[in-house]
């Protein structure tokens, strides 16, 4: 029976591991950083595992010894490569890719790609305050609403996120704003404009057609007490 030297089996697994690291780095760079296409961890895992498997098998079979009684039988060597460079690489890649995505979702939800649900900007005016919703992006766990607030008075108007920013639905469901991950200046200077986004802890369903973006309390001397922007959402087709 043809055999493979033990060191060549180790070399094959080592080369496969190197390509696994390269594939993971490329997957993270392309999918998570460059965001060139929608995130698909299963697809990334399969691609990396197949490449790692091909490299591993090619390496282990290239230097096989044709002398009997020496080294590891070829079927055993191939089985080891299949387990470690195939199934092992796929599982490890999926874990790494999911881990990176979960980390980004926790640290910076707005950086994770999602679906744009707003067809056009929508505004509401309350006294001197004009609040405009310019974008509504929904990813797997959060809804990111980009806003612009214009103040037409000579006093500062404050629109805090913590405890006062709310995304509500007609059925009574309400999502609270997340001050830790939102980028919202809160204070609108006299005759000024601010822009930013508020991250809401919850993902709108594809069927949701209407929502309200609110600051339930506006802090000022003479300005409005609160402001709500009714938002009509574009239908999202689920394939």
In order, the DSSP letters of 158-193 are E--STTTEEEE-TTS-EEEB-TTT-B---EE-TT-E
Is residue 223 assigned to a domain? Answer: yes
Is residue 239 assigned to a domain? Answer: no
Is the per-residue pLDDT at 14 higher than 60?
Answer: yes
Does 146 share its domain with 84? no
* Final residue belonging to a domain, choices 56, 82, 107: 107
Query: Dihedral of CA 227/230/234/237: which sign?
Result: positive
For residue 19, the enclosing domain spans 3-107
Does 227 share its domain with 123? yes
How many structural domains comprise the chain? 2
Does 100 share its domain with 139? no
Residue range 98-124: mean pLDDT, rounded: 80
pLDDT in tens, 177-210: 999 999 999 999 999 999 999 999 999 999 999 9
pLDDT in tens, 1-12: 555 556 665 666
pTM exceeding the 0.85 threshold for the entire prediction: no
The residues near 187 (Cβ < 8 Å, ≥ 6 apart) are 156, 157, 158, 194
How far is Cα 45 from Cα 154, in angstroms, rounded to an integer? 57
> Average pLDDT over the chain, rounded to whole?
77
pLDDT in tens, 47-81: 666 666 566 556 655 555 444 455 656 566 556 55
The residues near 16 (Cβ < 8 Å, ≥ 6 apart) are 52, 53, 55, 56, 59, 81, 84, 85, 89
Grade residue 44 by pLDDT with cuts at 50, 70 and 90.
low
Residue range 152-180: mean pLDDT, rounded: 96
How far is Cα 214 from Cα 40, in angstroms, rounded to an integer? 33
How far is Cα 104 from Cα 5, in angstroms, rounded to an integer? 44
* Final residue belonging to a domain, choices 107, 126, 153: 107
Does 13 share its domain with 85? yes
Judged on CB neighbours under 10 Å (0-12, 13-18, 19+), 2 is middle
Is the per-residue pLDDT at 89 higher than 60?
Answer: no
Is residue 39 assigned to a domain? Answer: yes
Distances (CA, A) of 144 to 22, 26, 136: 32, 27, 6
How far is Cα 129 from Cα 33, in angstroms, rounded to an integer? 37
Q: What is the largest CA-CA distance in the chain?
A: 94
């Amino acid at each position: 029976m043809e055999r493979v030297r033990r060191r060549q089996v180790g070399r094959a697994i080592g080369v496969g591991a190197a390509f696994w690291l390269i594939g993971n780095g490329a997957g993270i760079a392309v999918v998570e950083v460059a965001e060139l296409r929608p995130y698909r961890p299963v697809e990334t895992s399969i691609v990396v595992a197949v490449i790692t498997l091909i490299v591993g098998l090619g390496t282990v079979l290239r230097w096989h010894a044709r002398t009997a009684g020496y080294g590891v039988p070829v079927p055993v060597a191939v089985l080891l490569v299949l387990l470690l460079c195939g199934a092992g690489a796929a599982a490890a890649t999926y874990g790494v890719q999911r881990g990176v995505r979960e980390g980004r979702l926790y640290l910076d939800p707005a950086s994770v790609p999602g679906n744009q649900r707003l067809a056009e900007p929508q505004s509401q005016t309350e006294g001197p305050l004009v609040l405009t919703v310019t974008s509504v992006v929904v990813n797997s766990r959060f809804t990111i609403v980009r806003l612009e607030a214009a103040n037409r008075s000579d006093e500062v108007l404050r629109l805090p996120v913590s405890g006062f920013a709310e995304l509500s639905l007609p059925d009574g469901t309400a999502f609270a704003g997340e001050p830790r991950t939102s980028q919202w200046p809160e204070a609108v200077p006299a005759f000024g404009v601010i822009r930013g986004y508020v991250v809401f802890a919850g993902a709108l369903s594809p069927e949701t057609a209407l929502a309200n973006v609110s600051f339930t309390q506006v802090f000022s001397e003479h300005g409005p007490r609160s402001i709500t922007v009714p938002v009509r959402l574009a239908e999202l087709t689920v394939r």
